Structure 1
Amino acid sequence: MIKNYFSFSLFIILLFSPVFLMGQEQPELLKWFDNQIGTENTRLLNGTAYSDRHRTINEKNKLFGSATGKGSVLYDGQWFPDLQMRYNVFDDVLVVQLESGLGLNIIQLVKEKVERFNLNGTPFINIIPQNNAGVTGFHEVLWEDNNFKVLKKHALRLNEKRDREISYFEFEPIEGHYAFTYGDRNYILGSRNDLETIFPQYRSEIQNHYRSDRSILRSRPETFYTNLFRELSGLEDELRKMPQR
């Protein structure tokens, strides 16, 4: 269950209940609470305590970049900069660390309220399930402009390990999928034929790109798809400039 203001609201109520229930000092208590956590970050406490069910003992964990990093998040319509964050790729959740007078608070944000975030310079966007052909959750934004977004879904494989009497887990990167946004729809990047079906007006350009950059598709798919959609975006812009009949 989502806990507004996290568990500290309950802590405050219990600690100051005689005064709080009278209502005379409520503004002062809220001011005190904001000072403890930082007024600008109070809304982030509208989440749940983060608990990891998988024990790891090395860098092969479930985190993007294998560690907590510096970032910002667009959460519930507001940007929160300069945060300590971690993106749990395996469970597809975003976690923030907030320091306060009460100690270190590790909070799993409400996923539906996360619109975008940036972690160590890498941008991500959250695709909310809604007729998106399997494109849901946090995706890295490889490239975007007014016409397209090129996206990458990261994925991990879970392996259980045992060392004498100790059981732990390791996570290894596996191929997720690539996707793109066009208009208000999101598509999995599948075969060349799929793209030609979506963009029949650019069939010859798509075919030429696949023929000329086939080796790049195998070795550097991020580059291949970014270059392809840069080209398609230019064609879109030219098409809009043409006089309408």
Structure 2
Amino acid sequence: MKNHQQKTFFLVLFGLFLNICSSYSQTNDEIIVYNWFDKNLGLESLDFKNGLAHLNFDKTAPNQNRYLIDEFRKGNINYDGQFYFDLFLKYDIYNDELVLRPYDETNTTKINLVKDNIKTFTIGTEKFTNLKDLNTTIFKGGYYEEVVIGKNITLYIKYYKEKKKSTKDEINLIDYVPKYEFILFKENKYNLISEKKEIITLFPDSKRKINDFYLMNRDLRKDNPSLFMKNLIKYINN
């Protein structure tokens, strides 16, 4: 019996005991039961146990790393059609890998989850979607933060880093430079929006608003490009 089938069978029995009503959505009680099952049987029982070990031997300059956030945080995943909750996750944006830490902190093995099996994941309040079917000759593909703006309009943000070598005190170190790719899903089409003119092309009636926003938010665009783009697209569609 597959792991997700075992989990479903267990939930049916356990749900009878707890008098949990079945539902297509994940209720708080159902999430608690899923978490109990995962934690008490251990990661070795889960469907994603066969991911490769996550290795990182980087010698980096101060305050440099390959991750979106350099710590494990609570998150959820939709893996091979099965939901898992309250996992400890970290996103390696240099290799575009989602990293899992076991519940047992004495186990130092970290796992790169198999990307093809991940549909979505959340870390904190941010939701990420695997856009593995994108044309990668145009887009980078892989994991993107998903920001729903309105009906049939969604902003996707690709976080990645480029590696540069640096030397300090005759020691070779690595610098990671943050980069971004912005995609707007509008009218059932994925549109790359690297430049202001591309945004104006998609929203020709909002040209003045777009120009004003760029003018008023130059510092934000430089300091936090992803927040700049989120605010801009929301501003256009208000």
Residue aligned with 1:64, SS: coil
Distance (Å, rounded) in 1 between the aligned partners of 2:164 and 2:182:
24
1:182 alignment partner, one of 180, 186, 192: 186
Distance (Å, rounded) in 2 between the aligned partners of 1:149 and 1:142:
6
Distance (Å, rounded) in 2 between the aligned partners of 1:101 and 1:220:
38
Distance (Å, rounded) in 1 between the aligned partners of 2:69 and 2:39:
31
1:140 alignment partner, one of 124, 135, 145: 145
TM-score normalised by length of structure 1? 0.65
Q: Is the 8 A contact 2:220 2:228 kept in 1?
A: yes
Q: Is the 8 A contact 2:87 2:103 kept in 1?
A: no
Is 1:117 aligned to residue 121 of structure 2?
Answer: yes
Is 1:203 aligned to residue 207 of structure 2?
Answer: no
**1:167-194 Cα distance to aligned partner (Å, 9 max, x none):** 44232x4332222123543221133443
Distance (Å, rounded) in 1 between the aligned partners of 2:232 and 2:63:
34
Of Structure 1 and Structure 2, which has the larger fraction of its residues in helix? Answer: 1
Question: CA offset at residue 126 of structure 1?
Answer: 1.8
Question: CA offset at residue 230 of structure 1?
Answer: 3.8
Instruction: Decide which structure has the larger Cα Rg and report it.
Output: 1
Query: Counterpart of 2:204 in structure 1: which amino acid?
Result: R
Aligned to 2:219: 219
- The CA RMSD over aligned residues, in Å, is 3.5
Is 1:157 aligned to residue 162 of structure 2?
Answer: yes
Question: CA offset at residue 57 of structure 1?
Answer: 7.2
Question: CA offset at residue 228 of structure 1?
Answer: 4.8
Per mean C-alpha deviation after superposition, the further-off stretch among 83-92 and 136-145 is 136-145
Question: CA offset at residue 34 of structure 1?
Answer: 9.4
1:72 alignment partner, one of 72, 76, 79: 76
Question: CA offset at residue 125 of structure 1?
Answer: 1.8
Q: Is the 8 A contact 2:54 2:109 kept in 1?
A: no
Question: CA offset at residue 109 of structure 1?
Answer: 0.9
Question: CA offset at residue 119 of structure 1?
Answer: 1.6
**1:168-227 Cα distance to aligned partner (Å, 9 max, x none):** 4232x4332222123543221133443454x4xx5222x122232222453334455435
Residue aligned with 1:43, SS: coil
Query: Counterpart of 1:151 in structure 2: which amino acid?
Result: Y
Q: Is the 8 A contact 2:43 2:49 kept in 1?
A: no
Q: Is the 8 A contact 2:100 2:110 kept in 1?
A: yes
Aligned to 2:67: 63
TM-score normalised by length of structure 2? 0.66
Query: Counterpart of 1:209 in structure 2: which amino acid?
Result: K
Aligned to 1:83: 87
Q: Mapping of 1:223-234 within 5 angstroms?
A: 225-230=229-234
**1:91-147 Cα distance to aligned partner (Å, 9 max, x none):** 111110124699444111111222221123322222114336315122223444431
Aligned to 1:13: none
